[in-house]
Amino acid sequence: MGKNQGNKGIMIDYDAIANQESFKALVRKKKSFLWSMTVFFLAAYMLLPILTSYTKVLHQKAFGEITCVWVYSAGLFIMTWCLCHLYVAKANSFDKEAKAIIAEYENGGGSR
């Protein structure tokens, strides 16, 4: 990685930060969140063509002449917006944690 000058004019050794346990925990949390979101997102989207092509589940009428496939598809749009909102909120919390880790390092809490 290398060294860069931080906010307070302190040289930040990003290799040292990467070796901190708090940073490693943040990376684990972020990876876990991203993988679970990706699996959920892909599973929900891939179910649509599978259910419409190989089953009759979504071909049933939901209400009136509207079939369940339309309801499921509309739900995918709503799910996408919800996942985007969740991702932005979670990314903001990860950013706060990353700033706290850098601040800890700048205040002498990290191993140098």
Which pTM was predicted?
0.74
Cα(26)–Cα(56) distance, integer angstroms: 44
CA distances from 52 to 45, 55, 80 (A): 12, 6, 20
Structure tokens at 45: 């989207």
Domain ranges for the chain, please list them.
3-106
Q: What is the pLDDT of residues 24-73, one digit of tens each?
A: 999 999 999 999 999 999 999 999 999 999 999 999 999 999 999 999 99
DSSP H or E segment with residue 11: strand 11-13
Cα(20)–Cα(4) distance, integer angstroms: 17
Structure tokens at 63: 């209400």
* Mean pLDDT over each residue of the chain, to the nearest integer: 89
